[in-house]
Amino acid sequence: MQRAKRDTKPSATARMPGNGARILVVDDEEGMRELLSIMLVNDGYQAEAADSVVEAERLLRRGRFDLVITDLRMGNEATAGMAILEKVRELDGGVPTIMITAYGSVDTAIEAMKKGAIDYIQKPFKNEEMRVVVKKALEHKKLKDENARLRAEQLRMGRIEEIVGNSQAIEEVRKLIKRIAGLSSTVLIKGESGTGKELVARAIHRLSPRCERAFVAINCAGIPEPLLESELFGHKKGAFTGAIADKKGLFEAAHRGTLLLDEVGDMPPALQMKLLRVLDQQLIRPVGTSQHLEVDVRLISASNKNLEEEVKHGRFREDLFYRLNVIPITLPSLQQRREDIPLLVNHFVAKYADSLGKKVTSVSPEAMSLLDRFKWPGNVRQLENTLERAAALCNGPTIEPEDLPRNIVEYCPEFHEEVLPILPQKGVDLERKTEALEKSLIAQALVKTQYSQKKAAELLNLPVRSLRYRLKKYGMSPSGQKEESVVEEN
């Protein structure tokens, strides 16, 4: 293999200070590695060198590079450079790669470009020629990074508003997300099932510097321990029965991105210890191998369990809890943010009208009253599922009580302290709340009596005349849009 002629004196270009970009040089020939490294350092860049695919992968996992320069052939491996391209694309697809070789051909160049190489240069080359190619590749990366930054900024603007609500509790959650998104600290999201823990985790990821990398989520509840370990850390072929091929784990898939461990309180004790070790060392070991892989992952955990209580009862490791609970976020239940229900209702109606191709545009006052009074033990998820069903069943532009599930229509809480609405810190419109309660009970009475005003009045302990007055006052249909089938009763 011919060796490029070494510069003994830095050229005028070499004496110009570089931009400090980190460049990885991969070549099995020591002289070529040394030549390129000296030239790049003289030009003001930071250079690191690797003599094999394995060493290059180790360095790529350890830190970010702005450019990779790799030989095509190394030792007996005629396509080692192609393997480097694959590793670069797998670990950090935004890094440009320059392929160099003494065995070049048009076909090889085309193949290298298809696999992601930004340029192709043949040995022997002039140092000035390499400088031009390096400068061009870094300028291309700078432009690409700037475009990605602008796209990410546009993506961030307003995306946090996917967390719908105007209540003080939800506004505090939004503020906290904005404050912590740029950090690398672990986050523990607490809250009942259906409160939107994954939605918050995704918002943190989208607002973070890792937003261009992967967001990976797994629910730890109900997955057997051997399978969960394999899912998290990967496995080698033959590691256990059914392991017919190597498998990449979710930690590796989330490298330089974000990993959400949902329902982390259900993680088996043995895996809790292994997770603690990963957090401390940033290393994972796939099942069936003694080799460790470096990973750079922002870990977010979520749980509907009280992990402090789990620690007290010995079901969750105390040291792991403290590692996960660096930044806690507690999500309010829907019962604690009832003033957000109308906003959420309108949001989900618009969402599912669009996805289902339905011309649903609104919710009737009667239906809204029923939705507003329901306790929602399943929180926002249950409300969303209810509105998806209602939008699917609705035959007109407006969702009516008959489009709602029976348990919601017939729900009528007893008036005792446990179910009375909670007074928000910013106060409440008492007349509006009282009116909503009255409308809800009237709507339920009409549904229960198949829109018989006489029977509905009896259920409400009202004269029929008083019921009709209220129907007119609130603009409520006395027959649920079925007036032609209702017989007037005196």
- Alpha-carbon 363 to chain mean position: 30
pLDDT at 63: 81
In the three-class reduction of DSSP (H, G, I as helix; E, B as strand; rest coil), residue 122 is classed as strand
For range 450-466, the mean pLDDT: 90
**Structure token digits, residue 443:** 């709507």
Instruction: Report which of 450, 437, 436, 459 is spatially closest to residue 478, judged by C-alpha positions.
Output: 450
Give yes or no on whether 12-151 and 159-332 have one common fold.
Answer: yes
Would you say how long the chain is, in residues? Answer: 490
Instruction: Report which of 240, 238, 246 is spatially closest to residue 225, judged by C-alpha positions.
Output: 240
117-124 contacts: CB < 8 A, separation 24 or more? 117/85, 123/1, 123/2, 123/3, 123/4, 124/2, 124/3, 124/4, 124/5
pLDDT at 482: 39
pLDDT above 90 covers what percent of the chain?
50
Placement of tokens 């957090």 in the chain: 279
Ordered DSSP codes for 237-283: TTSSTT--S-B--HHHHTTTSEEEEETGGGS-HHHHHHHHHHHHH-E
Rounded to whole angstroms, the Cα distance separating 219 from 191 reads 15
Rg of the chain over all Cα atoms, to the nearest angstrom: 31
Instruction: Report which of 319, 324, 320, 374 is spatially closest to residue 345, judged by C-alpha positions.
Output: 374
**Structure token digits, residue 459:** 């259920």
Is 12-151 a domain of CATH 3.30.465.10? no
Is 159-332 a domain of CATH 3.40.50.300? yes
Among the listed ranges 4-13, 96-105, 191-200, 274-283, which one has the minimum average pLDDT value? 4-13
H or E stretch covering 454 = helix 453-459
The full set of domain ranges for the chain reads: 12-151, 159-332, 336-485
pLDDT at 461: 92
Instruction: Report which of 143, 134, 93, 140 is spatially closest to residue 116, judged by C-alpha positions.
Output: 93
Ordered DSSP codes for 387-417: HHHHHHH--SSEE-GGGS-HHHHT----SSG
In angstroms, the Cα distances linking 235 to 246, 287, 290 are 6, 4, 11
Among the listed ranges 199-203, 239-243, 410-414, which one has the minimum average pLDDT value? 410-414
pLDDT > 70? residue 5: no
pLDDT at 18: 55
pLDDT at 151: 59
Query: 482, 395 in Cβ contact below 8 A?
Result: no
Q: Give me the CATH code for the 336-485 domain, please.
A: 1.10.8.60
pLDDT at 424: 64
